[in-house]
Amino acid sequence: MTRRKKWILIAVGAVVGLLVLGFFTPYERKHYTCLQCRLGKKAETFWGMPRATYSANECSRWYAQAHPDHEHDWRKSSCTGRRNGSVQCYTCDGGDVRSGR
């Protein structure tokens, strides 16, 4: 086997390995809305590592200017999505997260 073919096989194996790893990555997604300012929050978890992204709107920008130090009052605003391999599920029970900024 030539050196070039070895590197191609290694590259293909690495890509396939990353795809398989991504397929089995535990993932969870929840959406929240602050009841006071209407700021949106998407909380995601990959391999147990949390990440939050926020989506501002006209109301939340105005409220942040008028009340810059308010504590967010987060409430779930949609279903929770979970994925682990080929298993996907959505739960639409109640619940909330109370935390500051």
* pLDDT reported for residue 73: 93
Q: Per-residue pLDDT for the chain (101 aa), expressed as one digit of tens each?
A: 788 888 999 999 999 888 777 777 788 899 999 999 999 999 998 878 899 999 999 999 999 999 988 999 999 888 888 887 767 787 876 544 444 43
CA 5 to chain centroid: 39
Per-residue model confidence (pLDDT) at position 52: 96
Residue 92 CA to chain centroid, in angstroms? 17
* 54 HSE (CA, 13 A, CB side): 11
pLDDT of the residue at 78:
81
Output the pLDDT for position 93: 67
Structure tokens at 9: 């096989």
- State residue 91's pLDDT score: 80
Q: How far is CA 16 from CA 26, 27, 59, in A?
A: 18, 20, 45
The whole-number pLDDT of residue 83 equals 80
Which residue, 63, 1, 12, is CA-closest to 33? Answer: 63
Cβ distance 33 to 75 under 8 Å? yes
